[in-house]
Structure 1
């Protein structure tokens, strides 16, 4: 059970955190995150379980375009061409987090958790998962204009599910490098 946020975290998210950390720990796979609209929430959940947090290698909170470029090596032209909230940028974020860490699995999230610009869709979020020896996968979700908190909780569910499904024991065949 998560220690700091325990009573505030829905039971299904607690179960996903446990499944991800157990599988990663049992199979010697470490995890990394690259987060924009979740602001480090996924990393926080993965480091909040006593006795399992060693499965987490590192996290990147890259809220601005400059941070995505500087910390994860996302090509500026990719952001300029597609926007920061896009499939290509989500893929580049996950691949950058995998490349620049010692993790075997890296998940990324970039989206609009709350009110966005006039041409932006509130609740639009792109996720990607990069794993050693596997192709990068992407998911696009439209959570709607539900507010920052509810959208961020949905982001947790998706990112944790993607990680769980990539890990050994859950159908995945990922190993650490």
Structure 2
């Protein structure tokens, strides 16, 4: 499991700057990255867009996408990542939107998190992970770990 320092070192080596677009984690991914001393040369910033209105106004997620697919969808995760890329000087972004719990529904269960990754010159990537009903804090921490792993996989492939 990658830690934030490894992500930052890989981004530094690749000449990348990172931004985050977070819903269910409420800024924990940016927090993990900026916990590392010296991270300011890699971390551009982050968006906490918990509500649909914030996703639209801050990241440009379309109302149609939200209505058609719901906030917890790969389509919204992609638009969140692309919005962060377009609205910052970052050239690599990661986004998360999900249901940390408690709660959920038959169609969108607790522990479902959709991830997006966007980078200059690359096709956006999305994926969904079913972490299960393991409790809000555990889902959020697992989401941070997975987002960091996504960033590291992308950076290692450069």
TM-score (norm 2): 0.95
Following TM superposition, the consecutive aligned residue runs of length 4 or more in structure 1 with deviations greater than 4 angstroms are none
Q: Distance in 2 between matches of 1:151 and 1:51?
A: 28
Equivalence for 1:66: 53
Q: Distance in 2 between matches of 1:59 and 1:23?
A: 19
Q: Is 1:115 equivalent to 2:102 in the alignment?
A: yes
* The structure with more radius of gyration: 1
Instruction: Quote the offset at 1:26 in angstroms.
Output: 2.5
In structure 2, runs of 5+ residues without a counterpart are none
RMSD over aligned Cα, in angstroms?
A: 1.2
Deviations 1:62-94 (A, max 9, x none): 000000000000001100111000010000000
Per mean C-alpha deviation after superposition, the further-off stretch among 49-58 and 146-155 is 49-58
Say if 1:46 and 1:53, in contact at 8 Å, map to a contact too: no
Equivalence for 1:99: 86
Q: Is 1:171 equivalent to 2:147 in the alignment?
A: no
Give the length in aligned residue pairs: 157
Equivalence for 2:5: 18
Instruction: Tell me the SS of whatever aligns to 1:63.
Output: coil
Equivalence for 2:122: 134
TM-score (norm 1): 0.85
